Amino acid sequence: SEMQRFKDALSRVPVVPVIKLYGKIAAPTSGYSRGVINYQSVKPLLAKAFKQRRLAALALRINSPGGWPAQCDLIRNEINRLSAEHGNIPVLAFIEDMAASGGYYLACSASEIYANRHSLIGSIGALAVHADLQTALQERASLALTLHRAGKRKAIFNNLEAASPESLKFTNYMLQGIHAGFIDVVKSSRGDRLKGAPESELFEGDIWLADKAQQLGLIDGVGDLEDVIAKKFGRSARLVDIGPRGWAKFASGAAGASDILQAAAAGGLWSSAAAGDLTAGDGSGFRGGPPLAA
């Protein structure tokens, strides 16, 4: 019958769930926060995506300037775990405005990465920002601060006193460890596709436009989600947006102009660092032309 033929045709239509990873990457707080990505909010979306019938692939739309490395790692591990449990379902990442620093870490969850020709990609490094507020408080607010410690390295990295040689040593230890972990993730994800540049160029925090990123092997091509999915799975492939429900919808969204300005003011062009925060990349360099927000 006509209905049976329709059902048979529908049963053969490949399904590609789409998850948006928009905004800064940070641990959840007690309140709702606009434009924040974290493991707690992404995990249920991934579970829903991998429960789709006729699942052909998972697509990730990424637009992120970076954030906390542990959240990046938790999300990446969950994506890899679910993909493996479902027969190594391919994961495709599609970079929009940027996948810098921790944003590129998230892109490395995918077996293939695509971008717009104007996307900003990379910033494979680590950053910590220290703001010495002691002098400012003394001079402007006439406040004299004294820190009392039980344990000589307690609160060694704080903004209420000048950085000491010991605190700088500790900071360097943290940053080197995070940077090494980031590099391992990129190498594991991209494998022998990495090419065209020595490690000293690939992993020093540079940001590239898509054409250069493709030459270096950091992405697989320039293209948008709809076209790539159609080429891989046919025009009949069904895209299913997987998003939060209820109040959570009002807490989600892409990083706005204020987010980017705050990131720039914190010390990295595309980092999301606040004073004392760590990010998985500092965006300290730019390749492929001047940034649009310079």
What domains can you pick out in the chain, each with its CATH number?
2-128+164-279 (3.90.226.10)
Q: What is the pLDDT of residue 253?
A: 40
Q: What is the pLDDT of residue 30?
A: 53
Q: What is the pLDDT of residue 165?
A: 83
- Give the global pTM: 0.79
The C-alpha atoms of residue 254 and residue 153 are separated, in whole angstroms, by 38
Q: What is the pLDDT of residue 34?
A: 63
Closest CA to 82 of 26, 44, 28: 44
The C-alpha atoms of residue 19 and residue 17 are separated, in whole angstroms, by 7
Q: Which amino acid is at 229?
A: I
Q: Which residues of the chain have pLDDT under 70?
A: 1-11, 30-34, 137-138, 141-143, 160, 245-294
Tokens 């039980």 belong to 150
Residue 221 token pair: 């091509």
Count of Cβ atoms closer than 10 Å to residue 163 Cβ = 16
